[in-house]
Amino acid sequence: MLNLIKLAFNPMNFVNNLGYLGVGMLIIILVMAVIIGATALLNKITGGK
Amino acid sequence: MEALTSWLATWASRVADMTATDWISMVAMWAIGGILIFLAIKKDMEPTLLLPMGFGAIIVNLPGVAQKVVDAATGKVTYSFGPLSELFGAGIANELFPLILFIGIGAMIDFGPLLTNPKLMIFGAAAQFGIFFTFAMSSMFFDFKDALSIGVIGAADGPTSIVVANELGSTYVGAIMVAAYSYMALVPIIQPPVIKLLTTKKERLIRMPYEPKSVSKTTKILFPIIITAVVGIVAPDSVYLVGFLMFGNLIRECGVLNSLSETAQKVLANLITIFLGITIATKMYYADFLKTETLLILGLGLVAFIIDTAGGVLFAKLLNLFMKKKVNPMIGAAGISAFPMSGRVVHKLGLEADNQNFLLMHSMAVNVSGQIASVIAGGIILSFGLGAL
């Protein structure tokens, strides 16, 4: 019933792809930081208290 | 009599190739469909999606329903499910359903509490760690694009998962959908033990008084436009994801399209949800679904949710080391998106620690920031997959 095919297992791929983890998190934090800055600025300009 | 014989002959020809294993597999899929319907009705777990998915899973796994289609050029076998496949082509393969649903979701979200304290958005970013970690883990078993698609289960956001998996041409769209929506429904069960494990009682007791501030209408109107522009510049492939979400929010906040906003929140979102769930079921045909890979994807999806939660909590604890005014680290967990369940879970845990510890406004603010961050993360993943980053 369950198609028990042999799965590929390449542990080195984990290590090789950690770079994407770092880059991805860096981009998302930078983008959110820009949005935080823009929002804070917007609040200041438009007088949000 | 002749008509009966003809009907029997047609039916027999359709199921003639089926082995005993196929029959057992179909019954197993009916059981899975039944479980999804049970969870939706009895446990109130994401009923709007699990119920149509469960019912659809039963339909497509009835004997003789699937029409085998063999590609003449490649010899690849696919299955067609009549109008359900037409709906899939018309709304999911081209990503229209999830994107249109985003208009409704955007119209439902009130960014007000987040705009009063924009710093909270950083927790939304931290809680996307599980997406990238799960991608790295998945890459040990799956090819690059499938691993990226599996990682996006951690976005805790169904439409984003659908768009990314489809855009990257993942073979496992069905399993990814089931994992994404099932775990979103299971947030109240998955998150509390992880949060409790990573926080001390003292930390859970930290109070965060809510200071209501007014946010100008201009800010509320410009916010969705700015987010779309920023994300569109960084990850152009995902501009539609965030754009449709923010368009819905702009309709809500502009103040001159109230009837459209109401339609988007209710009628539009409901209509799309009805079609989305039942159409996803076309990817739950036993021959495609009952595979070892499906179980592995379900396991990796769970890892994604756990690591997302842990990422948010640990990031909040890290920030507390440098902050004078401490935050309750539990609010970091609400950054996984899964709006609004995750925000409610954190609020409930705060009350559990101290019945006067009201974290709702903060946890909801982090929760909506998680919605934004998960869409951005989906865009980044999409860009990785399409080689744009």
Which residues does chain B have within 8 Å of residue A49's beta carbon, measured at their own beta carbons? 213-214
Share of chain B above pLDDT 90, in %: 59
Domain boundaries, chain B: 66-385
Helices (H), B186-268: 187-198, 201-204, 217-234, 239-254, 258-263
Q: Is B319 an 8 Å CB contact of chain A?
A: no
Would you say residue A48 has pLDDT above 80?
Answer: no
Interface of A with B (CB under 8 A): 1-5, 7-11, 13-14, 16-18, 20-21, 23-25, 27-29, 31-36, 38-40, 42-43, 46-49
Digit-coded pLDDT (tens) for B219-274: 999 999 999 999 888 888 778 889 999 999 999 999 999 999 999 999 999 999 98
Count of alpha carbons within 13 Å of B13, Cβ hemisphere only? 8
**A20/B384 Cβ within 8 A:** yes
Identify the closest residue of chain B to A43 by CA–CA distance. B219
**In the predicted model, what is the mean pLDDT of residues B282-295?**
88
Question: If you count residue pairs, one on A and one on B, with CB atoms under 8 Å apart, how many are there?
Answer: 133
**Residue at token pair 């149509």:** B52
A34, B202 Cβ separation under 8 angstroms: no
Query: d(Cα B291, Cα A4) in Å, to the nearest integer?
Result: 7
Decide if the complex's ipTM is over 0.85. Answer: yes
Phi-psi category of residue B368: left, alpha or beta, with phi > 0 → left and psi -120 to 50 → alpha: alpha
Across the interface, of B28, B128, B214, the residue whose CB is closest to A1 is B28
Contact (CB<8Å) B369/A5: no
What the block records as the tokens of B371 is 């919605």
What contacts B180, CB < 8 A, 6 or more positions away?
B152, B153, B155, B156, B157, B158, B161, B301
CA dist B208 and B210 (Å) reads: 6
Residue pLDDT, tens place only, B154-176: 988 888 998 999 889 888 887 89
